Every structure is written in C-alpha cells, then in structure tokens.
Amino acid sequence: MKKKLKIVLLTIVMSSFAIFSTGISESYFEIAKNLDIFNSLYKELNSLYVDDTDPGELMKESIDHMLESLDPYTTYIPESEIEDFRFMTTGQYGGIGAVITKRDEHVYISEPYEGFAAQKSGLMAGDKILEINGTSAKNKSTEEVSKILKGQPGTSVSLLIERKSVADPFTVIFDREKVTINSVSYSDYINDDIGYVKLRSFTRGCAEQLKKSIVELNNKKVLKGLILDLRSNPGGLLNESVDIANLFIDKGEIIVSTKGKINSWDKEYIAKKTPMFKNLPLVVLINNTSASASEIVSGSIQDLDRGVIIGKKSFGKGLVQQTRKLPYNSELKLTVAKYYIPSGRCIQAIDYSNRNEDGSVGVVADSLLTEFRTRNGRKVYDGGGITPDIITNEDFPVNLIKSLVKERLFFDFATDFRIKNDQVNYDFVLTEEGFSDFIYFLSDKKYEYKTKTESAIESLKEKSKTENYFSEIEEELNLLLSKYYDSKKDDLNKNKQIIKEILTGEIMSRYYYQKGRIKASLNFDEDVKKAIEILEDGNEYNALLNI
C-alpha cells in the first residue's frame, strides 16, 4: 500500500512540474507549496489515523470536494465508472439490454430493450431476478447487479427468474450482446403531414440517425412540418449538435462558438453543409431537463429564427467539457470553455448555486439579464437556459400520483394486465373499464399521501394548540378535516386523466417497449398538440418568427 501511495504522490508532483513547464500557471510556488502540504497530510492520515482508512476512497473524496468548488460539471471519473461514462457518449455497452430496478430485497427487470438479448430470451418487465450465474442476487443493489450483467459480448449469463404467471422459478440462459441504444427513440407521422421525432441524447452518430429518420418520413409522403422533441435530452457531443442544427440551418452560419481560458478553445462551429431541410417548418420541444447540446440546437434555431421553440425553460448548461486521461485508467471531465449561440448570448446560468431541486436554472433577477436580438429582431435574453417562444403550463404531479409511483402500483397493474392480455393494438388507450379495474386493483393496496391542504389544516391545528386557541376552534377544525377527508376519497377520479395517461404508457411499454411508451404519451401531450396547431397555421408560425 505504501509503495502505491508513493507512486501516486510521485505522479502528482511530476504532474505539477508539467504544469510549470507549460506556463499555464505563473503562481507555481503556491501550487508547489500546497501540493507539499497535501502530500504530507495525506501520508500522515493514512499512516497514523486511529481507524483503518481506504486510501483510494479518501483521495476520491478530496478530489470530489475540490472539484465541487469549481462548477457542477468538472468531475473525476475513477476506473470503476469509466464504462458507464463511455455509454453516455457512445450509447453502447456489452450486456443483456434491460433496465433494472430494486424493490425490497430483490432486483427486477423494469423494461427490456427491444431487439436485444433480454427481450429475445423472453424476459419481461416485472420479472424478479433470484440468481445470476448460480449466485443469489438477494439484497444486491442495482449497481452490483448491473456490473454482473454487463460484460463482453458473446459471454454467457444465466438468470433464475420468478414470474407472477409461472408457478415455479425458471432459468434463462443467453449470451450478452453489444447493446447500442439508438439516439432516435421514436419517429412517425402524428397527423396527415406533420412528422414527430424524439431524440433522447447526443451520442456519436445521432445526427446521421436523425437525418435518416426525417428522410424516411418524407419518403412515405411529403413532410409539411416537423416536431423535434428534445425534452429531457441531457445533451452530449458538441459536434453532433452542430451537425443536427446544420440539417435546418444554412451553410456558413455560425451555430455556436466557444471561449475558454486557453486561446485554442476560442472556436467557431460553422454549418459546413447545405441543409437538407432548409425550408421545412420546424417546432422544437424543450423542458427544464433539456441541457447542453439540446440547448445549442434549440438556441441556434431560435436565434436564427429557423423554427419555433415550445415548452418550458431549458436547463441552463452553457459549459463545454473535455476529458483528460489520468493514471490507472481514470479520467477528468474538465470544463474548458463556455459556449455562445448566434445572438451572442451564453445560456449558462450566471450563478451555479442558483438551481432548482432538479438542477435546472432557478429564477434570475431581471437586473442580471442582458438583452440580445434574433436574426429577425426578436428579443431574447441570457442568464440561464433557453426561454421558449411559447411557454406551456408546468405539470406538477400531485402527491397522490407520487405515492402511486413510489409504491410501483402503476407498474404492478401493467404487469398484471400483460399477464391477462396477450396483445393490445398499437393505438391502445386505457378505457373507462380499465380505469375502473385500476380502482379495484388499488382497493387492497397500501399507499399513503398527504396533500398541501391537509398539511395546512394540520399545521393550523398544531399552531392553535401552541397559542392556546385550540379549545375554541377544535369543533370547527375537526368538522373541516372530516369534510376534507370525505372529499379526498374522490382524488382518484379527480386525477383520472393523468392516471389514464401513465397507465396507457406503462401498459404499451409491455408490448411495444420504449416506442410504445412514447407513442402512448402523444395521445395526451399538450406540447405536441400546441406544436401541431402552430405548424398547421402558417400565419401564426410566421408571426412568431417575425417573418
């Protein structure tokens, strides 16, 4: 262990000399001094601390905390996490091709990927994994099970499965495969002449996949409008975002530019090809988890008045990362520049700490915003994220829905539905009878939730006790609670629409996998309905873009 420690320390010191020689930092004395302090402290901790320490974990903790002080996206990737990181950029890994989830003591198959090993071997959503290669999977985390299931394509894996509809556990043996997740997760016409394409990520080759999908739609019949769905797309490769924007934007246009500390990162990314879909009316959908490359595409489309943006304000990540190789197969994902879209604005949130719970940009004071103009003179602003041309209503799931999701009751109902029904049509939507079946299914299930109204009444009750008013209002408060609880019993019917939407998607995924889930969601999607309305009304489309 001491020998390894010396090697690590020597590597750090030598790296510092490399920094000195490149002239990146003029304050080399401060760097040398603090490295010396850190090396000595690290050595003393590992040698003399009263309890045993894990040098690797200790080092990772110190690195992580150091990087957190810079920005949220500069991160250290140890060797154990490299494969997951590569999957994010390539969309490829070796494994069985399935999403898994933990419930109680076991891991379950949540959703097989269509066309890959798990699905082809007959595994279904809801299958409980009892053993992997003869070893019990009980009490293992999803991370532990995932690492075991992943491996070199062609290698065999054996699973002992428990399924509700089968009396005894059964064994499934199959080979791992190279799993490639297509960036285009769904594409089809959603009415007579308007196409819809869902892009899930910006992995290698996604621009070519998107182009192919649009061409295929146009080959079926003349495409008169396109909805490009970038909602919940976390981004990915910068070059792919430029190539995608170039499908719609004229050759020679600057799509995005980057500016960094080092001059070599001051770059302009220009559309190099003649656009294939230059005159195709376009709507781009975004939301608060559309980030990075998604914001380059939607932002450049907006700044150049090439299409209408609909949805919710995007995430607000305008920083460019580059990976740098480190010793022992680890890597550093390092922020090296900020990116600027055609109007000149940077969509990075000004304050890294001013974020919502989901990480998206929080409210930015008007005084901190700078006004910019699009190609046609429309006002746009920096300060974090892309603000859509048409902002749709926020969807805040009520606590009832959160509780049903948490207890996996939508999932379990869909699993039971699949067992009872061999097939459903591709245009399936949950019927009133199906909704009634779900109400009956819940009758013996445990799920608890507290509404804001309920919390407010209970808070009032407690405060009245503290301030000695309770005895005077006790009767009225109890009567109010009684009426409230009577009304609460009807919450399932009050939320029928959202429940039917979730169940329709969950059930469709049992038969048609991810494509089925997306197809089902389009029946209820208000953003998509608005996009269709805009594309069908050429006057409104042009007016929004100041054409």
> Residue 6: is its pLDDT beyond 50?
no
Catalytic site includes residue 330: no
Compute the CA torsion angle 159, 163, 168, 174 (nearest 10 deg).
Answer: -30
What SS3 state is found at 36? Answer: helix
**DSSP three-state, residue 456:** helix
> What values do phi and psi take at 33, rounded to 5?
-65, -45
Please determine, for residue 5, whether its predicted confidence score (pLDDT) is greater than 60.
no
**Higher pLDDT pick, 483 / 272:** 272
DSSP secondary structure code for residue 386 in this structure? P
Rounded average pLDDT over 185-211: 96
The mean predicted confidence, pLDDT, of the chain is 88
Q: Which letter, b or e, does each residue of 292-331 get, where b requires 16 or more Cβ atoms within 10 Å of its Cβ?
A: bbbbbbbbbbbbbbbbbbbbbbbbbbbbbbeeeebeeebb
Least confident of 134-138, 255-259, 397-401, 423-427: 397-401
Active site residue 121: no
Would the pTM of this model clear 0.85, i.e. be above it? no
Catalytic residue selected from 303, 382, 389, 525: 303
Q: Annotated catalytic residue: which of 317, 500, 519, 530?
A: 317
Rounded-to-integer distance, Cα 146 and Cα 255, Å: 39
> Which residues are registered as beta bridge partners of 111?
99
Q: One-letter amino acid identity for 232?
A: S
- Out of 110, 213, 292, 298, the active site residue is 292
Partner residues linked to 76 by β-bridges: 332
Condensed to tens digits (0 to 9), the pLDDT of residues 490-541 reads 889 999 999 999 999 999 999 999 999 999 999 999 999 999 999 999 999 9
Q: Is 192 labeled as catalytic in the residue annotation?
A: no
As to burial, measured by CB atoms within 10 angstroms (0-12 exposed, 13-18 middle, 19+ buried), residue 457 is: middle
Q: What is the rounded CA–CA span in Å between residue 56 and residue 43?
A: 13
Q: CA geometry: angle at 320 spanning 317 and 321, to 5°? A: 115
Mean pLDDT for the stretch of residues 102-129: 95
Find all residues with CB under 8 Å of 338, minimum gap 6, and list them. 258, 259, 260, 318, 319, 320, 346, 348
Q: Are residues 196 and 189 in contact, defined by beta-carbon separation less than 8 angstroms?
A: yes
Element (H, E) at 260: strand 254-260
For helices 238-245 and 206-220, what crossing angle results, to 10°?
Answer: 30
Cα–Cα dist 68/126, whole Å = 38
Please name the residue that has the structure tokens 């799931």: 397
Instruction: Indicate the pLDDT class of residue 358, thresholds 50, 70 and 90.
Output: low
3-state secondary structure of 546: coil
Closest CA to 106 of 149, 67, 154, 141: 141
How many helices and strands in the chain, by DSSP H and E?
18, 21
Dump pLDDT digits (tens) for 10-36.
Answer: 444 444 444 444 445 557 788 888 889
Q: What is the DSSP letter of 13?
A: H
Helix (H) or strand (E) holding 505: helix 496-521
Residue pointed to by tokens 């380059």: 296
- Rounded Cα distance between 103 and 142, Å, is 10
Residue 156 has pLDDT above 80, yes or no: yes
152 or 298: whose pLDDT is higher? 298
Other CB atoms within 10 Å distance of the CB of residue 418: 21
